[in-house]
Chains A and B, each alone.
Chain A
C-alpha cells in the first residue's frame, strides 16, 4: 500500500469517526432515545444505521432533527419547526413504506392528565402539518407522554422549553 493510499484510508476512518461522533451529538440534541426511554428504538436505531449513509442519518440534513418545540400551554409550534417538518414531509411522502410515531410532550407545570391531553394535541398538530406536506395519515402514529418523559429533568424555564416538544420517531 502506497503512502498516499494510507493517508487516504486514515482520512476516511477519521471522517467516519467524526461522522459517528456528530451523529451521536445530534441524537442527544434531539433526544429521541431519551424520549422513548424503555422503547430505546430511537437513538439505538439512529446509531445502528448511521453507517448506511441514508438521508435520515446525514447530520447535515434537516432530517437529522427530530424534535420540534411548542409555546407554553399551547399546541402552537415555534417558528423554526416548519423547516424541520417540511424536510420530513418531503422524505416521508417519497418513502411511503416508512412509518413514524409522533410523540407529544409537555413541561411539568400544571396537572398531569391535562398535560397528557395537551401532549396529544401537540402530536396531532405535527401530524396535521405533515399531512399537509403530503404524508399519508397511515404512515404516522401518535402518542402523548404528557409530562411523564421530560427531555431535561430540570425545573427552569430553559428546561421547560426543551420539554414542550414533539418528537418524530422513525
Chain B
C-alpha cells in the first residue's frame, strides 16, 4: 500500500477530458523500459505525446520520462543530441511535430534507439482534429510493436455499460463505446431497463447485447456506426450472454426456454439454433476458443460455479478450473493460451488468469468486487470492472498483474467493459 502511494506521488499524473474519463495511475511496474516521449512541436488541440506516453505506461512495459525531467525538447532528428537522453538513462526516444495541413493536421513522429543513435521508425499521417487522439493511439501501437515485437492494441475500443442513477433512484442504463483509454465515449444504446453483456463482433462493427426494454431479457445486435439494430433472440426465460464465434457467423447464447439455462449456438443469418449443453445445472457465459472449435462456459453442475470446456459440436463438457469455490465468466486471450475469469479469493471477487498449458493460476486484481475481465486483442492487458468509493469503475491491468490503471467515468456507475478486436489494418 505504501509503495502504491509513493508511486502515485512520484509518477502519478492524471489527464482529464471534458465529459470524458479521469485516468489515474495506481501502480507502476519495475523493469519497464525507460522511454522519453518529447512533447510534439507545433500547436495541436490534443497533446499527442502525452496520449502516447499514457498508452505506453498503461501497458506495463514502458516507463515514460516525465516531460519536466527532460533536458531538451527536440522535434526532429536534427535537433536530437543523444547524450542528453543517455544521461537520463533513456533507452528509447520519440520526437514529433504536428502541423496544420489543409483543414486538418499532419502528424509526424520518429522513434530512436538512444544507445545506438539510430532511427527505428518514422511515419507521418494526415488527419483531422477529431482523429488526433486515434492517431496518437496508432503512433503508440507502432512504437509498441517496434520495441516489443508484438502488435500494439491502443488504437482499439472498449464497450461498457454506464448506470446513471437519478434523484428518484431509477437508473438510466447506457451502452457506450470509447477509445481504449476511456476517452471519446459515445452512446450506442440507452434504456430505463437493464442492459448488459455487450459483445463485439470479430470485425468490430457490431455489438450484441442483452436488453430488458420489453420487460424481459432479449438479445439484440446493433451496428456500431449506423445504430441499426435488430432483436435476434426473444425466447421465454433468459436470453443472455451472447458471444460471437471467431468467424462472426454464429452467436453462442444462454437460453432457459427449456426450463433452465443451457448454452446454445445460433446461426446469425438463418437464426437456426442448436443446443450445446443440456444439464439441469446453470450453464451460461459461453466464450469461444480462438480456433472456433470449442467454448468455455460457467456451470454449477459440480456444486459451485466453475469453468468447463465443450466442443462447438456439443458432447460432454470437461471441467477446466479446480482452484477455488467460484470461477465464472471466462474468456480467452487471442492466442488461446490463457483464460481470464472472475474468481472468488476468500470473500473477495477478483480477476484471475489461468495459463492453460501450465495450469498456473494468477490473481491480477486486488479489489473485492472485481468482475467482467476481457483481454486486449494482443493479450498484453486485461480490462475489468471494480468498485471504488461505492461506484463502478474500470481498470486496465497488464496481463502479468504488475501495472494497473483506473479509467473512471465521472458521475456514473461503469461496468462490464469488453475490449474490441483489432480494427482492420
Interface residues of A (CB under 8 A from B): 34, 37-39, 73, 108-114, 116-118, 120-121, 142-146, 148-149, 153, 155
Contact = CB atoms under 8 A, between A and B. Distances in A.
A38 B193 contact: yes
30 contacts: A37-B170, A38-B193, A39-B215, A73-B304, A109-B369, A110-B305, A110-B328, A110-B349, A111-B371, A113-B240, A114-B282, A114-B284, A114-B285, A114-B329, A116-B196, A117-B238, A117-B240, A117-B254, A117-B256, A117-B261, A117-B282, A120-B238, A120-B256, A120-B260, A143-B215, A145-B212, A148-B194, A148-B196, A148-B212, A153-B169
Nearest to A143: B216
B238 A144 contact: yes
A39 B241 CA distance: 24
A109 B212 CA distance: 21
Contact of A117 (B197, B284, B304, B371): B284
B391 to A, nearest CB: 9
A48 B217 CA distance: 28
Contact of A149 (B194, B285, B371): B194
A113 B369 contact: no
A155 B282 contact: no
B387 interface: yes
Given A114-B282, A118-B282, A155-B369, A109 B349 contact: yes
Given A111-B328, A117-B256, A38 B192 contact: yes
A121 B197 CA distance: 19
Interface string B301-315: 000110000000000
A121 B260 contact: yes
A125 B372 CA distance: 28
B349 to A, nearest CB: 6
Nearest to A75: B282
A110 B261 CA distance: 17
A113 B165 contact: no
A145 B165 CA distance: 17
B143 to A, nearest CB: 35
B329 A120 contact: no
A109 B372 CA distance: 12
Contacts of A148: 194, 196, 212
Interface residues of B, number: 40
Given A111-B298, A114-B329, A120 B349 contact: no
Contacts of A112: 196-197, 329, 371-372, 415-416
A34 to B, nearest CB: 7
B284 A116 contact: yes
B158 interface: no
B282 A37 contact: no
Contact of A37 (B192, B284, B344, B371): B192
**The 8 residue pairs across chains A and B that have the minimum distance between CB atoms:** A148-B194, A111-B329, A111-B328, A117-B282, A113-B241, A117-B261, A38-B192, A113-B285
Contacts of B369: 108-109, 155
Contacts of A121: 260, 282
Contacts of A114: 282, 284-285, 298, 305, 328-329
B390 interface: yes
Nearest to B415: A112
B169 A34 contact: yes
Contact of B170 (A38, A113, A146): A38
Contacts of A120: 237-238, 256, 260-261
Interface string B149-192: 00000000000000001000111000000000000000000001
A113 B237 contact: no
A144 B284 CA distance: 14
Contacts of B197: 112-113
A149 B173 CA distance: 11
Contacts of B371: 110-112
Contacts of B193: 37-38
A112 B199 CA distance: 14
A146 B415 CA distance: 15
Contacts of B284: 113-114, 116-117
Contacts of A113: 196-197, 240-241, 254, 284-285, 298, 329
A7 B171 CA distance: 46
A155 B165 CA distance: 16
A45 B265 CA distance: 40
